[in-house]
Amino acid sequence: MNTTSPSADPAPIRIPARSGVAVRLAKGTTIKVINTHGRQVVDTWAFNQDDIGESMSMEHSRTALLKVIPRVGDTLLTNHRRPILTLVEDTTPGVHDTLIAACDRHRYAQLGVVGHHDNCTDNLAAALATLGLETRETPCPLNLFMNVPVSAGGELKFVPPVSQAGQYVVLRAEMDSIIVMSACPQDVTAVNGMTPTDAH
Write down the pLDDT at residue 6: 43
Write down the pLDDT at residue 71: 98
Distance separating alpha carbons of residues 84 and 177, to the nearest angstrom: 8
Mean pLDDT of all residues in the chain?
A: 94
Distance separating alpha carbons of residues 2 and 31, to the nearest angstrom: 5
Overall number of domains in the chain: 1
* Residue 7 pLDDT > 80: no
Residue 197 is assigned to a structural domain of this protein: no
Q: Domain containing 128: what range?
A: 2-192
DSSP SS3 for 138: coil
Residue 95 is assigned to a structural domain of this protein: yes
Following CA atoms 90, 96, 98, 99 in sequence, which dihedral angle do they give, to the nearest 10 degrees?
A: 170
Residue 173 is assigned to a structural domain of this protein: yes
pTM (2 d.p.):
0.93
Residue 199 is assigned to a structural domain of this protein: no
Distance separating alpha carbons of residues 92 and 64, to the nearest angstrom: 23
* Residue 147 pLDDT > 60: yes
Assess contact for 179 and 27: CB atoms under 8 A: no
Residue 93 is assigned to a structural domain of this protein: yes
